[in-house]
A and B are shown apart, each in its own frame.
Chain A
Amino acid sequence: MRAQFRKRIRIVLAIIILIALGIFIRLYFLQIVHGQEYVQKANQQFASGGSGLFDRGSIYFTRKDGTLISAATLATGFLVAIDPQEIVDAEAAYTAINSIASSTMVTHAAFLADAADKTKVYVEVAYHLSDANGSALATLAIPGVQVLRETWRYYPGGSLAAQSIGIVSDGSGNIPTGQTGLEATYNSVLSRSGDVLHKNFFAELFSNAGSLLANTQNANEGDIVTTIEPEVQTRLQDDITKVNQKYSSEGSGGIIMDPKTGAIYAIASYPTFDPNNLQNLDPSLLVNPLVENVFEYGSIMKPITMASALTAGAVTPQTTYNDTGCIQVDGDRICNWNLKAYGVIPMLTIIQDSLNVGASWVAEQLGQSRFRQYFTNIFGQKTGIDLPHETDALLANLSKPQQIYYDTASFGEGIAVTPIQMIRALAAVANGGMLVRPHLVSNIILNSGASKPVNWGSGTRIFSVAAARETTVMMDALWDNALKVNGISAKIPTMSVAAKTGTAQLPTPTGTYYKNKFFNSEVAFFPSFNPRFIILLYTKDPKNVIYAEQSLSTSLLDLVHFLINYYAVPPDRGVATTTVP
C-alpha cells in the first residue's frame, strides 16, 4: 500500500517537473529568443489603443430651457494604419485608401515613404473615417492595411466660443490633455484615468479589483456644464464678426453676462478658429483676448469714476461744475470729445454727454489716494474667471504723483484692463455695487450621475447701493436721450436700458498715442434698475470710423432686442398713451 502511494507520488512529481520544464522552455523562447518580437507587438497594441480610443468628459452649453447641448464631446470612427512589412503594392493601397479617406489622409509622398520603411510594422496614414467608410475599407482586405476603431475630440459647434471652450492635444506621455480654455481649466475633471478596458485587457484583468468596490475617480471625474447659451453665443459671434468685417478691425470681442451672478451667457472674439481642424492653425488665435489681453477703453470707464466718487461722497448727483471744454493739467491739455464748453452742469451730463473735462473734475474731487484705492479694489486683482492665463490690469500710472494720470484714467486712458475685468466692474454698477465673479461653468456632472453645482460666491461690495443706482440713472439717460443708431434714437419705450460708449486712441509702441487709430467699446445693461443682462462689445482699430457709437451701436441694439425677445423679458416701463415711435 505504502509502495503504491510512493509510486503515485513519484508519477505526480514527474508530471509536475515535466510541466515546469515545459513552461520554463516555453518562457525561454518567449522572453529570450522571441522577446523583442513580442515586445514590439505588445507596444503596437498599446500604441493603437492609447492614441486612438481615449476617453474624456463632455463640455455642455445650456439652452435657456435647461437643455444641454454638447460643446465638446467624443466622436468615434476608424483610423487606417499600414504594416510596411506586410504591404504588397503600396501604390494600389494608397489609391484604395485615398478613394475613401482623401480629406484626412497623409500625402502621397509621405505614404510611399512610410510604406517603404520596412523597419516599421505600424504607421497610421488616415484618420477620422466614418463607420461606413471604415467598413467599406475593411471589406477590401488590402494586405498590410489595418482599419482600427478610434475616438477623437469633437466640437459640434465648430468655432462657437472656441477660444473659451479650448482645445485638447497630446500632453506628456501622449495623453490627450486640455491645452486652452475650459479644456485646460477643468482638465482634471474631464480627463479619464488609464483604467480603460480597451487597453490591455489581460494586463488590467485582476489589478483593479479594489476600484470595483470604491472608485475614488468617480468623486472627481465628470462632465462640465457651462452657462453659455448656444443661440445667444451664435448671435453675439455673428454680430462681432460683422462689425470686424465691416470696419476691417484688427480684432473684436464681446461678452454677455448676468450682472447679478457673473454667469456668462456668451463670450466671443474675432478672429477665431475651428477646433475640429487644427492643421495650419495660427497659434496666436488660441489666445483668448477677453481674458488675456488688456486694452484702454475710453469713456466706458467714466461710470466707474462716477460711482467711486458718489460712493466716497466726493460728489452728489446734484453737484455742479463749470465745464470749460478744455483744461490744462501738468502741462497737458484735456478736452471734451467735441471741444464744446458746457458751462455749469450737473453730474448726469458728464455721463450722458461723455465729457472728459467733467470726468477729470470728478477725479480731482475724489483725490489721488481714494481714486487709487477704488480702482485698485476694482481692477487690482484678477477676476478669478475659470479660464486659464488671465492677465493682470496695467495700473502703474496710478502709482505716480502727477494728476494728469488720474485725470486720464478717469475717462479710460493710461490704464489698461482686460474685457472680463471691464464688464465685471460695470456689472457692479448694474448690480447695486456688488462685484461678482464671472464664470463659465455652473455644474459638474460626476461619473456617478450626481450633479455638483459650482459655488462662485456672493460677491464683494465696492460701490454703495445709492451710488450704483445714481450712476445707472445717468447711463439710462444716455441711452434714452443721447444714443443714436443710424440717426434714430435707441430708446425703447417699454424697456429701460443703461449704456455707455467709449472711444480711446490706441497707444503706440513708444508710449504715445496714434492720432488716427482708435479702440471702440460700448456697454449696456437692462432692465436698468433690475438688470438681467449686461453686454460689453469692443472693436480694435476699426477703419473709416472714429466713435463707438458709429461702429458698435447697431450691434448693441440688435443684441438688446434679441435678448428681450429671446428671453421674453417683460417691460419695466410703459407709455402713457398708445405710441408709434
Chain B
Amino acid sequence: MSNTHKHFQFSLLSFCYITVGVLTVTYIGLIAVVMSYAALTVEFSQSVKNDEAAVAMLESQYLTSVANITNTNYSAEGYAPPIAQIFVPATAVTALR
C-alpha cells in the first residue's frame, strides 16, 4: 500500500513570484478599468455638453421668436385696434368674481 499523500512545501521565492504576479495583474487591471472609466466619463461629459449646446441654440431661437412677436407692428400687418371694448357688469353671472 503506497502513501499517496503529498506534503506541500512552502517556498518563499514562489510566494514572491505569485504575489508579484497577482499584484502586477491587479495593477494593470486597475489602470485599464480607471482609464476606461475616465474615457467614458470624458465622452459622456462631452456628449452632455453637446446636447446642452444644442438646447441653447433652440432656446436662442425661442427667445428670438419672442422678440420678433413683441416687435411686430400689428397695424402694418393689417390689424386694427378694436373699435370698442365691452366690459361685463360685475353682477353678471359670467363675471370673474
Whether B84 contacts A580 by the Cβ 8 Å rule is: yes
Q: How many A-B residue pairs have CB under 8 A?
A: 102
Whole-angstrom distance between the Cβ of A194 and the nearest chain B Cβ: 15
Whether B87 contacts A579 by the Cβ 8 Å rule is: yes
Which positions 41-63 of chain B face chain A at CB distance < 8 Å? 41-42, 45-46, 49-50, 52-53, 55-57, 59-60, 62-63
Q: Does B13 contact A (CB under 8 A)?
A: yes
Q: Does A576 contact B (CB under 8 A)?
A: yes
Whether A205 contacts B66 by the Cβ 8 Å rule is: no
Whole-angstrom distance between the Cβ of A263 and the nearest chain B Cβ: 20
Q: Does A331 contact B (CB under 8 A)?
A: no
Q: Does A234 contact B (CB under 8 A)?
A: yes
Contacts of B46 on A, CB cut-off 8 Å? 76, 149
Whole-angstrom distance between the Cβ of A70 and the nearest chain B Cβ: 5
Chain A, interface size category, equals: 35 or more
Contacts of A570 on B, CB cut-off 8 Å? 96-97
Contacts of B96 on A, CB cut-off 8 Å? 570-571
Contacts of B86 on A, CB cut-off 8 Å? 578-580
From B34, B42, B45, A205 is in contact (CB under 8 Å) with B34
B side interface size, CB within 8 A = 33
**Assembly CA distance A234 to B41 (angstroms):** 38
Q: Does B67 contact A (CB under 8 A)?
A: yes
**Assembly CA distance A131 to B96 (angstroms):** 53
- Smallest CB-CB separation from A570: which chain B residue? B96
Q: Does A317 contact B (CB under 8 A)?
A: no
Whether A69 contacts B42 by the Cβ 8 Å rule is: no
**Assembly CA distance A154 to B52 (angstroms):** 11
**Assembly CA distance A158 to B88 (angstroms):** 42
Contact (A69, B53) CB under 8 Å given A197-B42, A205-B38 = no
Q: Would you mind naming 17 contact pairs between A and B with Cβ atoms under 8 Å apart? A: A73-B56, A74-B53, A156-B56, A156-B57, A158-B60, A197-B41, A197-B42, A205-B38, A230-B63, A230-B66, A234-B63, A235-B70, A494-B87, A577-B89, A579-B86, A579-B87, A580-B86
- Leading 5 A-B pairs by shortest Cβ distance: A574-B90, A156-B60, A156-B59, A76-B53, A73-B56
Given contacts A5-B13, A158-B63, A574-B95, 9 further A-B contacts (CB under 8 A): A69-B62, A70-B59, A73-B55, A77-B53, A154-B56, A197-B42, A231-B70, A571-B95, A571-B96
